[in-house]
């Protein structure tokens, strides 16, 4: 069911299809994407304003996103339309390259890509306001999944490359994680995304790191078996069909 929520930045109406299904009964991919029988929860988990381009995880918007004020007060946000392209991407609040990228995304039209574009905007804005590499990696990986659903392999690959770089940075920052368990899972994701991108050496190194951490933690035996399988005889779907 479509509901309307107010953009926290510019107050325009955003049509939102709702959070999607939570039944968790569908297959689990090797990138740990869980499909549901009902509407895709990853498509419904994000909102995008067609007026100003603001995007965020839907839950943050519906619960009052504390990062919104920070974006709204950033003079770069206000000058998106007038900036020249300063070059490649970096991260951090107020970063001009990220702002320029957001502006370019807006220029191609926010209505075209649906959830895929919404997740891309979420990733750029997360980097811009300094949410950290883990949040950025999660958003890029979800953008890749949404592109997969549109059979846009090239965009999916580009988003995976960005997710990979973010997750690699996150793994190097133990403070990004509440538990070693989560750090091991993200190291595994680095391996799995690199494997899907055809970077065998990078995948191997990350899988080995994930395995070392998994073996040092109690309760990760079956996870360690998944890592070994993806190293030796990889599959695309871990569970279900």
Q: Which helix (H) or strand (E) holds 42?
A: helix 41-44
| Residue 65, phi-psi category: left (phi > 0), alpha (psi -120 to 50), beta (remainder) | beta
Coil, strand or helix: which one is 47? strand
Coil, strand or helix: which one is 15? strand
Is residue 52 near Zn ion by the rule CB under 5 A? yes
Minimal distance, residue 50 CB to Zn ion, in Å:
8
How many contiguous H segments (helices) and E segments (strands) does the chain have?
11, 6
Question: 54 exposed, middle or buried (CB, 10 Å; 0-12, 13-18, 19+)?
Answer: buried
Minimal distance, residue 12 CB to Zn ion, in Å:
5
User: Considering beta carbons, is residue 115 or 190 the nearer one to Zn ion?
Assistant: 115
Among 51, 96, 149, 199, binds Zn ion (CB under 5 A): 51
Is residue 117 near Zn ion by the rule CB under 5 A? no
Is residue 54 near Zn ion by the rule CB under 5 A? yes
User: Considering beta carbons, is residue 17 or 217 the nearer one to Zn ion?
Assistant: 17
Is residue 6 near Zn ion by the rule CB under 5 A? no
User: Considering beta carbons, is residue 56 or 155 the nearer one to Zn ion?
Assistant: 56
Count of chain residues binding Zn ion (CB under 5 A): 8
User: Considering beta carbons, is residue 51 or 96 the nearer one to Zn ion?
Assistant: 51
């Amino acid at each position: 069911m479509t509901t309307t929520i107010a953009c926290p930045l510019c107050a325009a109406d955003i049509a939102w299809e709702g959070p999607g299904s939570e039944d968790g009964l569908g297959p689990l991919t090797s990138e740990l994407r869980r499909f549901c029988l009902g509407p895709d929860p990853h498509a419904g988990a994000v909102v995008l304003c067609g007026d100003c381009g603001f995007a965020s995880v839907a839950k943050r918007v519906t619960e009052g996103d504390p990062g919104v004020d920070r974006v709204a007060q950033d003079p770069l946000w206000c000058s998106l339309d007038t900036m020249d392209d300063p070059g490649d991407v970096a991260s951090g609040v107020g970063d001009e390259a990220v702002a320029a990228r957001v502006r370019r995304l807006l220029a191609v039209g926010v209505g075209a890509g649906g959830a895929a574009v919404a997740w891309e905007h979420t990733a750029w804005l997360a980097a811009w306001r300094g949410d950290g590499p883990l949040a950025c990696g999660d958003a890029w990986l979800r953008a890749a999944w949404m592109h997969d659903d549109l059979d846009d392999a090239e965009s999916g690959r580009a988003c995976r490359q960005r997710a990979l770089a973010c997750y690699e940075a996150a793994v190097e920052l133990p403070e990004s994680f509440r538990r070693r368990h989560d750090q091991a899972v993200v190291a595994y994701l680095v391996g799995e995304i690199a494997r899907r991108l055809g970077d065998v050496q990078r995948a191997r190194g990350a899988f080995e790191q994930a395995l070392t951490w998994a073996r040092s933690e109690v309760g990760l035996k079956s996870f360690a078996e998944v890592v070994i399988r993806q190293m030796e005889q990889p599959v695309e779907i871990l569970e279900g069909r």
